[in-house]
Structure 1
Amino acid sequence: MGVRALTPLAAARETAGYTQETLAVAVKVERTTIGRWERGVQSPQPWQRRGLAGVLQVSLDELDDLLRRTARRPDTAIGPAVAAVRAPANVELVPATSISGDASDHAPAEVNVIHAAIPRLRRALDRLDLPDDGPTRTAANLHGDIIRASDDRLQSRYGHLARRLPDLIAELARAGQLGDATDRRHAAALLTLALRAADGIAFKFGYLDLSARLIDLMRSAAQLAEDPLLVAAVAYVRTETFFATGDLDTAARALELAADHLPALGTASSSAAFGALHMRAAVVAGRAGKPDRAADHLREARRAATVVPEGIYQGTAFGPASLRIHELAVAVELRDPLGIERAAAWQPPAELPAERRSHYFIDLARAQLTLGRHEDAYLCLQTARQAAPEHARTHPQVRQSLSTLLRTHTAPSSGLLDLAAWARAR
Structure 2
Amino acid sequence: MPRLDDDTTGARIKEQRKLARLTQRQLADRIPYSYSLLNQVECGAKPANLDFVAAVAQALRADVTVLTGQPYVTELQQDRLAKLVRPIREALDLYDLGADDAIPEQPAAELVAAADQLCEQVRATRLRKAAKALPGTIAELTTAAWRTPSTELWQALASTYRTAHDISVKLGYYDLSAVALDRMDWAAQRASDPCLAAIRQYMRALAYFREGEYRIGQRLVAVGHGIVGGAEQTREAVAVTGQLHLGASVIAARADQQDAVDTHIAEAKRCAKQTGDASEVHWLSFGPTNVALHRMSAAVEMRQYDEALNQARKITLPTALATSRRAHFLIDKARSEMETGRTEAALSSIVDARHTAPEQTRYHPGARETIKGLVHISRRTPDTLGHLAAWIGL
TM-score interval, normalised by the smaller of the two chains: 0.7 to 0.9
CA-CA distance at 1:193 after TM superposition:
0.8
CA-CA distance at 1:120 after TM superposition:
1.3
- Could you say what secondary structure the match of 1:317 adopts? coil
Larger % of helix: which? 2
Q: Does 1:272 align with 2:272?
A: no
Q: Distance in 2 between matches of 1:146 and 1:351?
A: 20
Select which of 95, 111, 115 maps to 2:82: 115
CA-CA distance at 1:336 after TM superposition:
2.0
- Could you say what secondary structure the match of 1:314 adopts? helix
Aligned counterpart, 1:64: none
CA-CA distance at 1:111 after TM superposition:
6.1
Relative to 1, partners in 2 of residues 1:383 and 1:134: Cα closer, same or farther, differing over 3 Å? same
Q: Does 1:308 align with 2:275?
A: yes
CA deviation profile, 1:238-277 (whole Å, cap 9, x unmatched): 2332134221110011112212331467322111101100
Aligned counterpart, 2:136: 167
Q: Distance in 2 between matches of 1:165 and 1:250?
A: 30
CA-CA distance at 1:341 after TM superposition:
3.4
Q: Does 1:124 align with 2:97?
A: no
Select which of 333, 340, 344 maps to 1:364: 333
Relative to 1, partners in 2 of residues 1:145 and 1:111: Cα closer, same or farther, differing over 3 Å? farther
**TM-score calculated relative to the size of structure 1:** 0.71
Select which of 152, 164, 177 maps to 1:211: 177
Alignment of 1:17-416 (within 5 A): 112-130=79-97, 132=100, 133-179=102-148, 183-263=149-229, 266-310=233-277, 311-337=279-305, 339-345=307-313, 346-416=315-385
Relative to 1, partners in 2 of residues 1:126 and 1:266: Cα closer, same or farther, differing over 3 Å? closer
Aligned counterpart, 1:50: none
Relative to 1, partners in 2 of residues 1:274 and 1:164: Cα closer, same or farther, differing over 3 Å? same
Indicate if the aligned counterparts of 2:95 and 2:183 stay in contact, CA closer than 8 A: no
What 5-or-longer segments of structure 1 have no aligned partner?
Answer: 1-107
Q: Distance in 2 between matches of 1:393 and 1:109?
A: 9
Larger Rg: 1
Q: Distance in 2 between matches of 1:373 and 1:240?
A: 29
Indicate if the aligned counterparts of 1:283 and 1:329 stay in contact, CA closer than 8 A: yes
**Percent identity among equivalent residues?**
32
CA deviation profile, 1:40-80 (whole Å, cap 9, x unmatched): xxxxxxxxxxxxxxxxxxxxxxxxxxxxxxxxxxxxxxxxx
Relative to 1, partners in 2 of residues 1:136 and 1:247: Cα closer, same or farther, differing over 3 Å? farther
Please identify, of 373-382 and 309-318, the stretch whose mean Cα deviation from structure 2 is larger.
309-318
- Could you say what secondary structure the match of 2:111 adopts? helix
- Could you say what secondary structure the match of 2:133 adopts? helix
Q: Distance in 1 between matches of 2:389 and 2:316?
A: 25
CA deviation profile, 1:3-45 (whole Å, cap 9, x unmatched): xxxxxxxxxxxxxxxxxxxxxxxxxxxxxxxxxxxxxxxxxxx
CA-CA distance at 1:187 after TM superposition:
1.5
CA deviation profile, 1:304-324 (whole Å, cap 9, x unmatched): 111222212113110011111
Q: Distance in 2 between matches of 1:127 and 1:335?
A: 43
Q: Distance in 1 between matches of 2:357 and 2:78?
A: 14
Indicate if the aligned counterparts of 2:309 and 2:337 stay in contact, CA closer than 8 A: no
Indicate if the aligned counterparts of 1:172 and 1:190 stay in contact, CA closer than 8 A: yes
AA in 1 matched with 2:272: A
CA deviation profile, 1:335-391 (whole Å, cap 9, x unmatched): 224531331112322210100000001011111122221111111111111211111
- Number of aligned residue pairs: give it: 316
Aligned counterpart, 2:386: 417
The alignment's C-alpha RMSD in Å is 1.9
**TM-score calculated relative to the size of structure 2:** 0.76
Indicate if the aligned counterparts of 1:161 and 1:198 stay in contact, CA closer than 8 A: no
AA in 2 matched with 1:178: R
Please identify, of 337-346 and 298-307, the stretch whose mean Cα deviation from structure 2 is larger.
337-346
Q: Distance in 1 between matches of 2:132 and 2:324?
A: 19
CA-CA distance at 1:109 after TM superposition:
8.3
Please identify, of 343-352 and 401-410, the stretch whose mean Cα deviation from structure 2 is larger.
343-352
Q: Distance in 1 between matches of 2:280 and 2:365?
A: 25
